[in-house]
Structure 1
Amino acid sequence: MPLIKRISINNLIAFWLLGLCNNFAYVIMLSAAKDILEKETKNGTSNYNETCPKDEKDIKCTSISTGSVLLADILPTLFIKLLGPFFLMHIAYDIRHIIVVFFQALSYIIVGISKSVEIGLIGVVFASLGSGLGEITYLSLASHFSNNVISAYSSGTGGAGVVGALVYAAMTDPYLLNISPNKTLFFMTIVPLIFLICYSKLLKCPESANQFGIFNNIDNYDYESIQNEIDEEMDNENVTTRNEGSENAVTPLSYEEKKKIIISMLQFMLPLVVVYYAEYFINQGLLELISFTCKKGFNLTLSAQYRWYQVLYQIGVFVSRSSHKLCVVKSKFLPILSIIQIINLIIFYFDAKNHFIGHIIIVMALVLFEGTIGGKAYVSTFSQIHEKTTIQTREFSLTFVAISDSIGIVLAGFSAIPVHNYICSLK
């Protein structure tokens, strides 16, 4: 295989792994949300794995909504994403990558050793900081590559959801490996090591990307023209924005130029905010309230039901993010995805309140569908931005729009807590 083509394939694999590793800690913390909230001060254990509920009266509300874990897992991310487009773009990508890996490793260790909710939430905050910095770092880095790496990165983030949620559910499930949540978190520290190796050994960055040179992974080829040829060979795609000139240097944007870009990006941001608000309201505000007895819930414990909901949601996200080329959603159709997700939210809300769905398998199917809509909205949004922006504005555009999902998730977290308390007060 020619060296140039091998480099391109390696970069696609690298971006897939970057997406997987960057989102892994975020997914693990949400999957562990109920376990974190059920920690006992004495020894950090809980009784979540005992038995499934025999009767509906055995199904109790938790005192704290999992929305609180969601807020700890997203507020630092939003803070990073708000500052990132204006301040972090001057920091070399390899330096940022090291910081991301450090935060992620620290989060696993802190949550793993924690014996109280407060310490556990501190670990969640570090996971959030790493995930937020990572997302704006790798999405902006993607502006120096072809549009294909956006699909690869998005697929990797979806893969993180499936692998992370599935591994955590399997390791902690009493019918499978039955490992304690604390020990499971320690096992996850292998992920930051893979993360570090992926960037340093597999990825070849073009000279146009700001690198300090720690890993010596700079590609000296004329990457823009090379990548165009490879794109045509791989999928016969004509990326018109790559024909804007052979120069790799991107001139800094003025404040007024950034302001104009932000206004033009609202058409992409608003639908994505709504989609993420609806799906995270469902996942962290309502699903914990939708539980079933042994007979109607496959004999799963309450915590196990919650974890497997997360697995199915992430499978839906992964499938839709990985099949972008098979079903392309243009920007004018993005609001339709928002409407569908709001309909899902309404269904889940009334079931959490009235319990009209008769079996867990129906809820599982709805959760899978909900994840599919969310994943499709994410990959379609960033792919459309990459396609429609010029090389001069692409990096800032991708970095700024990355705050959209975080805004929606923060709003969902704040909404989930009072709704949790309201529905629990009815029981």
Structure 2
Amino acid sequence: MLFENSLAFARRLDQADPLRSYRDRFHIPERNGEPLIYLCGNSLGLQPKTVRQALDRELGIWQQHGVEGWFEGENPWLTVHQRCKQPLAQIVGALPSEVCPMNNLTVNLHLLLTSFYRPQAGRTRILTIGGDFPSDQYALETHLQTRGLNPADALIEVFPRTDEHTWRTEDMLAAIEEHRDSLALVLMSGLHYYTGQVFDMAAIARKARAHGILVGFDLAHAVGNVPLQLHDWGVDFAFWCSYKYLNSGPGGVSGIFVHEKHHRAALPRLAGWWGYDETRRFDMTKGFSPMAGADGWQLSTPTVLAMAVHHTALQITDEAGMEALRQKSERLTGFLEFVLKQSGHPLKIMTPVNPAERGCQLSLLIENDGKAVFNRLTEQGIIGDWREPNCIRLAPAPLYNTFEEVWRVGQVFREA
């Protein structure tokens, strides 16, 4: 599409937007009675207006039924996680049996490492990207230490080339090829939090699988943002949070994917009673017998109120559909790139130019006075995200951001 840098053009795009009604289904933060331009969905998505009703419904069940809420009513809490499985499966490209909402992201990472990091003689190492999200770095370091391994030896980190900000797919594949005989696992983000780069997960999974190496992805910044086909790609496992593009609230429930090829395997795991065979869970007997599929990795009793928020938010994303969301996302982000370049401001966009290699985020590298520019944006009612030492992340989310908002961001940069 050929963009025009004008308010009239932005408004025409909004008028023609088939998803424009979804904005009205979210609470837009305000300052002094005026809506803010919220471009921080990559950190915390906005609140769906249906959340309060969903919470009130569960609070009413608690009030009226007490403990019997686990068993009574149209939607008993005993099966609360099952309500989320179908929409999650659609969003990540999986079978319903392969996904489960549970716990928080780093807890799930450790659980899945227990099952899928299986070092053997000659194959003990994990390949990842250098500079991945700190939580993943800490989890890998400490998990390796619990196995009696030195992270400095057991962890292979692949970095971008000198003077480049993003990774080349051929370098990732070459690293897997080079270390194939020593690798037990490839584990990395599917979309990099800092640069906004989407990795070619299909190619990475295919290369790892060709050498008998298991592969897993952290999808915190990818789920609900970019198209995923985890089952068809042959990914072994994945995990994510739900409070960014899935809009499930601060600290919202995480989720996991475990490919069906592993469902009947005798994998080591850390178990809890909610992962026990549901038909016999209340027998309270010794000897762990897991539920089928991804559900067997559950640990503790689910947080019903968080699940209620998650379910109502997932319904919005599922209804809109990832194909339509992706189409608008590419156009929104492309328009943001256009108006920023038209602004004349001395900034560098480190996020890949190719729309297929990025989600709805642009990471702006501002060498001089970047924090002052960020503060200026905030003063003008534009909520983005500052990352040290000199990066501003802006993420126009297709469910609630508009082309007019993006155009106004360009105007602020032009004035600055």
Report the TM-score, using the length of structure 1 for normalisation.
0.26
Please state which structure has a larger fraction of its residues in strand: 2
Higher relative contact order (CA 8 A, sep 6+): 1
Q: What is the TM-score with the length of structure 2 in the denominator? A: 0.26
